[in-house]
Structure 1
Amino acid sequence: MASLDSGSNVAQPVGGTFIVLLGPSGSGKDTLISHARREFSGSSDVLFVQRVITRPSDAGSEDHIAMTDDEFDAAIDDGQLSLTWAANGLRYGLPRSVEVHLAAGRVAVANGSRGAWDVIRQVFPSAVAVEIRVDPEALASRLEARGREDAVEIEARLKRASDLTDRFEADMIIDNSGQVETAGAVLTDYIRQAHEGRNGG
């Protein structure tokens, strides 16, 4: 279960659109974000957020900022993080750069947490939830294939995926059970619509 870290605080309402991908570990959120990032590589108006995580930089596919617990605590004390939460034995944070980007009326995209969604909405009122769904069988296969967890950890993640299914109402649902390119195109179009909407396109 995710929980709000004691270092979190509430930001002021901002004018941009914060697109937060939510879904179980192994659903392909990072892969879809990487796909969309390539499509918007020439645009400074769309920020793909690097989360801060207490996990080594070479652990997993996510392009994140790795910190130790002590470094994470220091970042909180220094006011470097807008929001922090804990899940699956790790601590996660979103950098202050998200606030600056959204305050300029731009679009930001991040990998979020279903268990922390209520807190994310509290801190970022402009946040919209994009739920990434995948068939349970495909989810189990992906978790096994990536080799980051043992059988016990995989079972725990699958249970958490089931427990959090109805914890929030999604603004957009993307099925990523099939080809990544298909789901990636849907996400890219959603981001583009948000971007064009903010810029009168």
Structure 2
Amino acid sequence: MSVVSSDAFPPNLDTLGTMIVVVGPSGAGKDTLIDYAAERLRDQADVHFVRRIITRDSDAGGENHEGCSEETFQRKKVAGEFCVSWSAHGLHYGIPASVKQHLKKGGVAVANGSRSALPHFRAAFPNLKVVVVTARPEILSARLANRGRESMSEIMGRLDRKVEAICDSFDVTTIDNSGEIEEAGSVLLALLQSSISTR
């Protein structure tokens, strides 16, 4: 069960920029897709790729995040240092409040998120787009197995979980990341470029 919250910031209709939150099941390749886009837009100042704060070691692998203890995370949350925070799978996740400043300048921000936290992303970011990354079940299973973090029974249990439907009121782009990263990456890049040009 996930616990989510939109923290210190109420909706701000003066926010000019666009928040793009990337969600999808484990193994869909969200981090790989985000890294692909970040590498190709590294000189594009208008696009900010959010470094999440997570209650796990910074060198634990996976995404480039800022690790912290649960005590530090809660202290940051109380201090209003997150726009959005949520808990899932025994970990706490936070989106730094500094993202708001980038968006107020009209920029585009990209964050790895969670389906359960989407209503809270919408509360914090009036201009929100959602990217749902998917992959075929056999691809998800193989990728999870290659990580070596879970047993096969745990992997099958994860794949058997029902995926909550995403509300039709969200602006959703679905990207199938079953094939080569260039295919899915080109779709995400096109969305980002469109968000920059129309802001």
TM-score of the aligned structures, taking structure 1 as reference length: 0.90
1:59 aligns with 2:95: no
CA 1:37–1:78: 2 relative to 1, 3 Å: same
Partner of 1:186: 187
How far apart are the structure 2 equivalents of 1:139 and 1:77? 36
How far apart are the structure 2 equivalents of 1:140 and 1:168? 26
Higher alpha-carbon deviation: 169-178 or 67-76: 169-178
RMSD after superposition: 1.6
- 1:93-131 CA-to-partner distances (Å, cap 9, x unmatched) read 000111111111110001110111111111212111111
Partner of 1:40: 41
How far apart are the structure 2 equivalents of 1:127 and 1:158? 28
- 1:133-160 CA-to-partner distances (Å, cap 9, x unmatched) read 1111111111111122233442343233
How far apart are the structure 1 equivalents of 2:110 and 2:86? 17
CA 1:149–1:9: 2 relative to 1, 3 Å: farther
Which consecutive residues of structure 1, in runs of 5 or more, have no partner in the other structure?
none
Give the letter aligned to residue 142 of structure 2.
S
1:8 aligns with 2:7: yes
CA 1:79–1:12: 2 relative to 1, 3 Å: same
Secondary structure of 1:163's counterpart equals coil
Which consecutive residues of structure 2, in runs of 5 or more, have no partner in the other structure?
none
How far apart are the structure 2 equivalents of 1:99 and 1:47? 11
Give the letter aligned to residue 8 of structure 1.
D
Q: How far 1:50 moved relative to its partner?
A: 0.5
Give the letter aligned to residue 193 of structure 2.
R
Partner of 2:167: 168
Give the letter aligned to residue 4 of structure 2.
L
Secondary structure of 2:198's counterpart equals helix
- 1:19-56 CA-to-partner distances (Å, cap 9, x unmatched) read 11110111101000000001111111100000111111
1:137 aligns with 2:143: no
TM-score of the aligned structures, taking structure 2 as reference length: 0.91
Partner of 2:83: 82
1:115–1:167: 8 Å Cα contact kept in structure 2? no
Partner of 2:102: 101
1:117 aligns with 2:123: no
State the identity %: 42
Secondary structure of 1:47's counterpart equals strand
How far apart are the structure 2 equivalents of 1:168 and 1:184? 24
